[in-house]
Amino acid sequence: MRQRYDAIIIGTGIIGSATALELARAGWKTLSIDKNPSPGYGSTSGSCAIIRVHYSTYDGAAFAYEGYFDWKDWAGYLGSGPDETLAKFHETGALVMKTEHNGMLATIIANMQKLGIAYEEWDAARIKQRFPFYDLSRFSPAKALSDPAFGQPTGGEVTGAVYFPTAGYINDPQLATVNIADAARRAGAEFLFNRRVVEIPKTADGRVAGVVLDDGSRIAAPVVVNVAGPHSAKVNAMAGALGDMTITTGALRQEVVHVPAPDGFDVMRDGMVTSDSDISCYARPETGNHILIGSEDPPCDPREFVDPDDYDTAFTDQWTVQAQRMAQRIPTLGIPHRRRGVVDLYDVADDWIPIYDKSCVPGYYMAIGTSGNQFKNAPPAGRAMAELIGACEAGHDHDADPLKVKMLHTGLTLDMGFYSRKREINKESSFSVLG
C-alpha cells in the first residue's frame, strides 16, 4: 500500500464502493478505508435492498430510474467476467396502496408521467385477485401498540393501488457491494479494512491532508470523501465540516421483521415489493418463503437516534408492532414466537434526502444520509460523486453554480444542488423510506 493517494474514501458500503469505482475509472488513485472486515459489511448488509422508481420528488424519481438500468444490466455495469458470482435483481414490481397519507399517489403518478416511467392503476378487485388473503379494511392512522384502538378498523376500505413494474429487490446487498468493490479493484482502486480513521489533518491553508488511522499510520491525500454511513456525523465533526450545513445527519435505529408467508402462498414466485401507508409498513419477499417487513416510520413510533458505536441490537416491541400491522392486512399471517430479522442503523438526513456535496473544508466531500433510500441509486450516485469531485477540484464553484450531471442511461440532467448540504428541508419529501 502506498502512503499517498489522489483521494481517500471513508466507508466501503454500497455508495462508498460505487464512488471508489467511478473515481478509479476516471484515473484517480484511491484508497477506501473501513473499520469493518469487508465491503458492504456495515449497515449496507442490513439493507432491504429494494429497487424502486416511485418517489414523491421529480429529482428522486429521475435518479432512481437511472439506477434501475444499472441493476437491470448488472454484469454490464460491473464489467464482470462470466465466472463471477453476482448479486441478482428480482424484478417483481412494486405495489403501492393509495391512501390519504400519500395523497392517493397523485404527485408520484405525475412524476411517472413526466419521466415516461411505466405504471398501472389497480382497483380493489385487482388487488384481491393478486393477493386473495388481503383484508383491505382501512386502519389508519397508525397507532402505538399500547393504544386500545390498535388493530381496529377505522372505517371503509383501501380502494386502489399503483403497480410499478420497474421495481424489485436485490437478493444479497453485501454481495452486490463486493461486486462493485471487485470492479473498483480491477480499475485500480485499493481497499484497507479493519482500520478506523481517528483524525483528518489539514494543511496550513485549511485543506484536508489525508487521514490518521487508529494504528497511528498517516496516509496523505488532497481529497477525502465521507461515505461513512451511520458514522457520517462523527466523521464530519472530525473534519470540522459542520459549520455551513443546514441539513445534518444522524444514526437512526431500525428493526426489520422476517415472518413466514401465509400458508399456500409462494412468496418467491408470486410476491412483490409492497408499500402500504395505511398500515405504515413496506414488505418484500425473502428467501425461505418468508416476508420481510419494515416500518414506514409513522409519527406514533419513536425515532431512536443513537451513538453508532453503542446501541441496543436486541429486538423490542417495535418488532411486534410491525408484524401485527402487517397482520392487519394479512389476517392469516403467522407471527412466530421467536423473533427473526435485522436490527441495524440508518444514516438519515433531516428530510430523508441524501447529501451529495462538497463541504466548507477544501478537498472534503460528502455522500451521506443515504440509508434506507439510496441503495438503489448506488451506481449513478458513484458516477455523480466522481463528476462532482472532479469538477470542484478543477475549480468549479458548486455552491454558486450547482453542477448539472447528464445521466448515462436516460440522458436526463441531474441538478446536484438538489442534494446540497445547504438546502432548506424539502417539504416534498415523503419523510419515510422503503429501506
- The 10s digit of each residue's pLDDT in 141-166 is 999 999 999 999 999 999 999 999 99
Whether residue 254 has pLDDT greater than 80 = yes
399 near 258, Cβ under 8 Å?
A: no
Q: How far, CA to CA in Å, does 51 sit from each of 63, 289, 352?
A: 12, 20, 17
Grade residue 425 by pLDDT with cuts at 50, 70 and 90.
confident
The rounded mean pLDDT for the chain is 96
- Reported as type and span, the H/E element at residue 31 is strand 30-34
Look at the alpha carbons of 341, 342, 343, 345 in this order and tell me if their dihedral is positive or negative. negative
Grade residue 435 by pLDDT with cuts at 50, 70 and 90.
very low
Question: Which is nearest to 84 in space by CA: 177, 191, 187, 179?
Answer: 179
E-strand ranges in 391-431 read: 404-406, 413-415
The span from the CA of 379 to the CA of 408, in Å, is: 10
All residues at 6 or more sequence positions from 125 whose CB lies less than 8 Å from its CB, including other chains: none
- Helices 14-25 and 378-393 meet at what angle, rounded to 10? 50
Whether residue 427 has pLDDT greater than 80 = no
Burial of 355 (0-12, 13-18, 19+ CB in 10 A): buried
The span from the CA of 89 to the CA of 87, in Å, is: 7
pLDDT for the residue 230: 97
Q: What is the mean pLDDT of residues 48-77?
A: 96
78 near 183, Cβ under 8 Å?
A: yes
pLDDT in tens, 284-337: 999 999 999 999 999 999 899 999 999 999 999 999 999 999 999 999 999 999
Helix, strand counts (H, E) of the chain: 10, 22
Q: What is the mean pLDDT of residues 360-375?
A: 94
pLDDT for the residue 434: 53
pLDDT for the residue 384: 98
More confident residue, 2 or 231: 231
DSSP β-bridge partners for residue 378: none
DSSP β-bridge partners for residue 256: 342
Question: Which is nearest to 282 in space by CA: 237, 326, 328, 216?
Answer: 326
Whether residue 204 has pLDDT greater than 80 = yes
Backbone angles phi, psi at 157, to 5 degrees: -135, 160
- Reported as type and span, the H/E element at residue 365 is strand 364-368
Burial of 109 (0-12, 13-18, 19+ CB in 10 A): middle
Output the nine-digit C-alpha cell for 402. 450547482
Share of residues in the chain with pLDDT > 90 (%): 95
pLDDT for the residue 176: 98
Whether residue 404 has pLDDT greater than 70 = yes
pLDDT in tens, 64-115: 999 999 999 999 999 999 999 999 999 999 999 999 999 999 999 999 999 9
The span from the CA of 263 to the CA of 286, in Å, is: 15
The span from the CA of 268 to the CA of 288, in Å, is: 8
All residues at 6 or more sequence positions from 237 whose CB lies less than 8 Å from its CB, including other chains: none
Grade residue 430 by pLDDT with cuts at 50, 70 and 90.
low
47 near 230, Cβ under 8 Å?
A: no
Cis peptide preceding 141, ω within 30 of 0: yes
Output the nine-digit C-alpha cell for 219. 496516509
292 near 258, Cβ under 8 Å?
A: yes
Whether residue 398 has pLDDT greater than 70 = yes
Task: Kindly list the structural domains of the chain, giving each domain's residue range(s) and its CATH number in brackets, ordered by start.
Answer: 7-84+172-248+351-419 (3.50.50.60), 90-168+250-348 (3.30.9.10)
Is the pTM higher than 0.95? The answer reads yes
Mode of pairing for the β-strands spanning 224-226 and 210-213: unpaired
